[in-house]
Structures are given as structure tokens and as C-alpha cells.
Structure 1
Amino acid sequence: DPEGQVVAQAIAVFQFNNRKRGEYGLPLLETMTIPCITMAGTRPTFYLVPVTRELSNAVLLGEYPLTQTRVLKCVTVGVSARHTVEGMENIHYRELVFRRVLAFK
């Protein structure tokens, strides 16, 4: 299950970006929404992970944050079992995946 890793990496991105902002004299951000994609075979799953400074600090301190984090998730599912077997070889599934990728952009 890659979801824990997705959230952990989104928090790492938040920390890295804020550290760089501090180095350049820019104000630190309170929140960032980090887009993420995982692949299971040819099936992409899209995530939007909102990371706050509160969440980042809680992770650094090994504590639970006071505010719940809600991750948006979009799983790409073909309309038939054939799409799962054929994957990207099926033109209809391939079009569905590319539409999702473009929409996520």
C-alpha cells in the first residue's frame, strides 16, 4: 500500500520547499497542496495531499497533529475487466488514463 509513503514524501517536499524558501529570504508557507501519482501496473492513482506547517512540525516531533488531514484520491478504473488485463494496450483505457493525466496537470 503506497499511500503512507505518498503522504510521507509530500511532507518531505513541504519541508524541503520551506527550507529553500527560508534560505532565499522568502516567507515560509503555512500550507502546500502536493500533487502525487502512484502506479500499479498501468493503473495510475492521483492524490492531492494538503500539508500544513502544523502537520510537518508534528511529524518532526513524533506527535499526532491536532487537525485531521484529508487527502483527495482519484483511482483510475477501466469500465470492464478487460481493461485490467490489457492495460495500456486497450485504446479506450489508454484514452481514459491520458484524460486523467491531463486533468490532473
Structure 2
Amino acid sequence: MWLGLWLAVFGLGVGIMVGLNIPLVLPQAYAKYISVAALAAMDSVFGGIRAAMEDHFDNDIFVTGFFSNALLAAGLAFIGERLGIDLYLAAVVAFGVRLFQNLAIMRRHLLKK
């Protein structure tokens, strides 16, 4: 269990370091899509870490949740842009709430041990 947790944290750290050191500039038009997809991916990662801490991590659920959350969030942003409505804010609120809930549960789990 802890090996998977440390591998996830290590992978997240390596990904952040690589992302900060690559001079990649994305067009402004994609900012909403990428930000919402990144938030969805972070939600999935924190959910996976939480599941690993609670000893019920399932790789299939993690992978499908990771991609379906990112695609759903980007789809909401795309449909909202076509309709002229900021639907991406719904995804931001939903994933933000889940991120803070997962973080609070992980904090409680670590403080109990």
C-alpha cells in the first residue's frame, strides 16, 4: 500500500518538475480546457492516494476515473463555450470541493496514526 502511495507522490513530483522545466507555451484559447482537465486529473490523483491510504485502491477505477473526469470536464468547457455560458465553472467547483474533501480525509487519516 505505502509503495503505491510513494510511487504516486514521486510521479507527481517528477511530473511537476518536468512541466516546470519544459518551455511549452499553449495558446490562450486552450486555457479553460487545460486548466479544467488538470484540475480533474489532480482530483483523480488525490482520490487515488486517499483510496490507497484506506486500502481499497483499484487501478482500473483509477485509470478510468482519471480519463473520464478529464474528458467530462473538457467537454463541459467546450459545450459551455459553444453556448456562451461558463459551464467550466461547474467542473471547477465540483472538482475543487472533492479535492478539499479528499485532502481533509487524508489529513485525518494521517493524524490518527
Q: Which has the larger radius of gyration?
A: 1
Q: Which structure has greater strand proportion?
A: 1
Higher helix fraction: Structure 1 or Structure 2? 2
Q: Same fold (TM over 0.5)?
A: no
- TM-score, structure 2 as length reference: 0.28
**How high is the TM-score relative to the length of structure 1?**
0.30
RCO higher in 1 or 2 (8 Å CA, sep ≥ 6)? 2
